[in-house]
Structure 1
């Protein structure tokens, strides 16, 4: 499993993108978090684009000028999974199962059956 390491600002920008259903411009990203300037966002986006963690997914008008829109390429779940080892993940899953309701367990069981069918 690949480990991902981001700066505080990179992670801030990624979290904003993960939390949005739509692609966002640098101005929209900066406006979503107090303390983030558009210049900082543009610098961070340039680095994330070069590393292929985000992509340009459209163009929109920002006032009277055109602005690129961005989406995250790296899924949030993949990033979170990279933070813990398989052994730690098993402990988390075991704890989740122990504290789950019947509905949650049924959903989890259905997902496991689906995954087993996909792997055949």
Structure 2
């Protein structure tokens, strides 16, 4: 389990980054979430950088200034699983499998399970 879950603001910004197909600057996050100030976003991005949830992906121009872009280091699914107890994660997995009506998804899950079983048997 992840010892320190994300705050509401951290979670909001991480969700924006997780849903983006490319790294984003603080100004781009403001455009997506105008209810947040650029100052707040910059502070939260700095904290997420320190916590190891994001990394600087590169630099881009915002107006006439060079600015950093950020991308998540941790996958959203990895974070979510880390916030659950083992029992809850197992219960969620079982419930998903029970309710899924997609043969393709269930076959993909079976392949992951088989690959993990093979790793553990070594």
Under a length normalisation based on structure 1, what TM-score does the superposition of the two structures give?
Answer: 0.88
Count the aligned residue pairs: 120
- TM-fit CA distance, 1:18: 0.8
Residues 62-110 of structure 1: CA deviation (Å, up to 9, x unaligned) = 1111011111122211210122111111111111222222332222112
Equivalent-residue separation in structure 2 for 1:50 and 1:98 (angstroms): 39
1:43 pairs with 2:43: yes
Extract unaligned runs of 5+ from structure 1.
none
Alignment-derived partner of residue 32 in structure 1? 32
Offset at residue 3 of structure 1 (A): 2.9
Q: Is the partner of 2:52 in helix, strand or coil?
A: coil
* Runs (5+) with no aligned partner, structure 2: none
Q: Are the aligned partners of 2:60 and 2:69 in contact in 1 as well (CA < 8 Å)?
A: yes
Offset from partner CA, 1:29-67 (integer Å, 9 cap, x none): 111113011111011112112222211110011111101
- TM-score, length-scaled by structure 2: 0.87
Q: Contact 1:4/1:82 (CA < 8 Å) preserved in 2?
A: no
Measure how far apart 1:6 and its partner are: 1.8
Q: CA-atom RMSD, angstroms? A: 1.6
8 Å contact 1:17–1:71 — kept in the other structure? Answer: yes
Alignment partner, residue 21 of structure 1: 21
